[in-house]
Structure 1
Amino acid sequence: MNIGIDKMSFYVPPYYVDMTDLAHARDQEPDKFHIGIGQDEQAVSPANIDIITMAANAADKILTAEDRASIDMVIVGTESSVDESKASAVVLHHLLGIQPFARAFEIKEACYGATAALIMAKHHIAMSPGDDHKVLVIASDIARYGLNTGGEPTQGAGAVAMLVTENPSILVLEDDSVALTQDIYDFWRITGDEFPTVEGKLSNETYINAFAKVWTEYKNRTGLDFSDFKALTFHTPYTKMGKKALLPQTDDKHLLEEFERAIVYNRRVGNLYTGSLFLNLISLLENATDLESGDKIGLFSYGSGSVAEFFSAQLVNGFENHLLKNFHENMLDNRKALTIFEYEKMFNSTEILESDIKFALHDVTDKVRHYNNA
């Protein structure tokens, strides 16, 4: 049975800060941000755009009335939840008009959560095959470390939505995943803390070592090597991170060229936490020029704490006809560039302003969040 990603899209807030401007404001050389960590722009989210609104805007773009009637599971991978009890997926189920007899819940494990959701969606479809069973998987996060902090250049915000079905139109998920769990405090956020605690050097080392470990185990189990893949995609908290993990393992010229195509969108958005890997995937599919049906794509997922997984997918014939390259490029190109003053004001503001965005937070009364559907 072929199960995988039938549709996918992403959404980012309509504001960003240029990394050259941020570097100057922080008395840093711009090359430290543009070359050192590989970031050019950073998405900025105002108070009326939270993980629910970003998720709804990402998913709404790809769902038809038929999809909404067939989806029987909604899963959100996030580490930016707005409620310690009620899942954002429940609110999304309502906002998106999904048929009522569906499961809806969140998954949390740092940046790995959406990968767990994707694997769970695949297993759900395998247990209940047919066109009337679909799963909506959404990764939605706001990466915040605070103003004028070491992590500030790796902030970002956005959501990626994926519809998982039998006989998908874009990618078939293979049965070859290898996961690794290690109890390591490289990045964490205690309940109640606004910003995470980060051990930067340890986090980088853990990421690189995790890739080496799961890749070695993957090769041992499958007998495959880098030459069997057309491209590899990575969780990208900043775009240089994936390259730091890849280079010690291979100097394959083609894989490195494809890596550059896979970070085009990430360079313009910043860190999406759970969505970073899948934004990387969309960027690859929409910017690579030599992908073909049957090509094997590798995916490396990493979530601090830590859980990592390597798995693969195969491109479906005609996949290019189901991508949204023009829409995504227009969305990125039409964002407003903020001055540093505007960026810092927006970062600190809790004021909920009126918006013409289709799904946005309207107000909060008696601890209840109210969303508009423009």
Structure 2
Amino acid sequence: MKIGIDKIGFATSDLYLDMVDLAKARHEDPNKYLIGIGQSKMAVIRPTQDVVTMAAAAAKKIICQEDKEKISYVIFATESGVDNSKGAAIYLANLLGLKQNIRTIEMKQACYGATAALQLAKGYVALNPESKVLVIGADNARYGIKTPGEPTQGGGAIAMIIGSDPKILELENETSAYAKNIMDFWRPLGHSMALVDGKYSSGVYLDFLKNVWDEQLKKTNYQLQDYGALLFHLPYTKMGLKGLRQILQDATVEDSTRLIREFEYARQFNREVGNLYTGSLYLSFLSLLVNSTSIKSGDRIGFFSYGSGAQAEFFTGILQPDYQKGLVGFDYWAMLNKRQSVSVTEYEDLFEKHVFDIENIELDYQTDKSAFLLAGIHNYKRKYLSR
């Protein structure tokens, strides 16, 4: 029985900050951001948006009535949770109008969380082949204004439906995982922004990549020529390019040319949005599917998932004949091109208005035309609206 990704959808803010504008405001050479980290724009999340509303928007793009009837598990991966006890998945299931006789959980392991959710969903479908699982990777990446990590912020949500006989990708069984207790990135309880040792984390990322790549090679003997594309967790797109270059050190010209070409397709959406934390790897996958002119059914795709702290996994999947149908015809470039640019001052103002640990507040959502909204908080209870 084939199990894998049946559909995939993406949502982000309707606002963005141009990285050239941010560079000028921070007295930096724009090429430090455009080339040095490989980012063009950064999603700016409104205070009336959070991981729940963005996840609902992403899922709404792909869920049909048949899916609603078959989804029996919602797994929400995030490190931007809205409650220390109540999982975001139960808010999401309610907003989407899913049936009540289902399981809903939230899971966390930095940017790796959505991959853990994907593997958990695969095992569940193996035992329940008539069921589907809704997997979410959603985050609001916040490092702080005028911090070193500021240009690697962003946000959005990826939604994936996992099931048998998938339209997009069949997950192969062999995977390689690696975990080690390190402090390269963390967000202590009570902190609304992450703490990171950027240089150290970049080195750990590459070390973990080498470990799981070598292990996967031992398990499968898949060589570079066996891959149609290699995808990476992209906290910023230059990081994935560094990982690819590490793998391609002894590659043939043909393999190197092909895999770099596909990587460029796979990072186009990430360049436009910034860091999605849990969703970044899967946004890159969506970008590949939408933008590549040469990827085809039957191609093997390699995925490197990394979450600080740290956990990594390398896994593979086979692209299916109907993979375009799993995108449900949504025009993501039109969505991204319709976004509104904000100034650095406007971005800073919106950044500071996000609510954390507030007992009561009414939010002004009149300018937010999104389908799902955070309207306010009353007695620490979040109030969501759908249109």
TM-score range, shorter chain: over 0.9
Contact 1:71 1:136 in 2 (8 A): yes
Check conservation: 2:62, 2:328, Cα contact below 8 A: no
Shift of 1:327: 2.1
Alpha-carbon distance, 1:341 to partner: 1.2
Mapping of residues 144-183 of structure 1, within 5 Å: 144-183=142-181
Correspondence for 1:306: 310
Q: Where do 1:266-285 residues align within 5 Å? A: 266-285=270-289
Counterpart code for 2:177: A
Q: Distance in 1 between matches of 2:303 and 2:17?
A: 29
Identity %: 46
- Deviation for aligned residue 1:239: 0.1
**Does structure 2 conserve the Cα–Cα contact (< 8 Å) formed by 1:70 and 1:99?**
no
Q: Which residue of 2 aligns with 1:235?
A: 233
Matching of residues 132-211 of structure 1 within 5 Å: 133-211=131-209
Unaligned 5+ residue runs, structure 1? Answer: none
Aligned equivalent of 2:44? 44
1: CA distance, partners of 2:257 / 2:66? 43
Output the CA distance in 1 between the equivalents of 2:325 and 2:381: 41
Corresponding position: 1:64 with 2:75: no
- Confirm or deny: 8 A CA contact 2:134 2:159 kept in the other structure: yes
User: What is the CA-CA distance between 1:80 and the residue it aligns to?
Assistant: 0.4
Cα separation, 1, equivalents of 2:260 and 2:316: 17
* 1:7-18 map, 5 Å: 7-18=7-18
Aligned partner of 1:212 in structure 2 is 210
Which amino acid in the other structure matches residue 242 of structure 1? G
**How far has the Cα of 1:139 moved from its partner?**
0.4
- 1:364, 1:145 → 2: CA distance? 24
Offset at residue 62 of structure 1 (A): 0.5
Q: Is the 8 A contact 2:61 2:330 kept in 1?
A: no
Assess if the C-alpha contact under 8 Å between 2:178 and 2:311 holds in 1.
Answer: yes
Post-superposition offset of 1:248: 2.0
**Residue type matched to 1:54 in 2?**
M
In 2, Cα distance between the equivalents of 1:325 and 1:297? 22
List 4+ stretches of structure 1 deviating above 3 A: none
Instruction: Tell me how far apart the structure 2 counterparts of residues 274 and 352 of structure 1 sit (CA, whole Å).
Output: 27
Letter in 1 for 2:195: T
Deviation per CA, 1:173-206: give whole Å up to 9, x if none. Answer: 1101111001110001111112111111110000
Q: 2:378 aligns with which of 349, 360, 365?
A: 365
Aligned residue in 1 for 2:364: 353
Taking structure 2 as the reference length, the TM-score comes to 0.95
Per the TM alignment, residue 99 of structure 1 is displaced from its structure 2 partner at its CA by: 1.1
Determine the C-alpha separation between the residues in 2 that align with 1:167 and 1:330. 30
What's the secondary structure of 1:341's corresponding residue? Answer: helix
- Structure 1 residue 325: deviation in Å? 6.3
1:24-43 to structure 2, matched below 5 A, reads 24-43=24-43
Distance between the aligned counterparts of 1:41 and 1:82, measured in 2? 26
Report the counterpart of residue 357 of structure 2 in structure 1.
none
Partner of 2:257: 253
CA distance in 2, matches of 1:5, 1:321: 12
Post-superposition offset of 1:324: 5.1
Aligned AA (2:37):
I
Q: Counterparts of 1:8 and 1:299 in 2: how far apart (Å)? A: 16
Residue aligned with 1:266, SS? helix
What amino acid sits opposite 2:325 in the alignment?
Answer: N
Distance 2:277 2:48 in 1: 20
- Structure-2 separation of matches of 1:174 and 1:256: 23
With normalisation by structure 1, the TM-score equals: 0.98
Check the 8 A contact 1:51/1:141 in 2, yes or no: yes
Structure 2 residues without counterparts, runs of 5 or longer: 355-361
Distance between the aligned counterparts of 2:318 and 2:33, measured in 1?
Answer: 34
Aligned residues: 372
When the two chains are superposed, the root-mean-square deviation of aligned CA atoms in Å is: 1.0
CA distance in 2, matches of 1:114, 1:249: 23
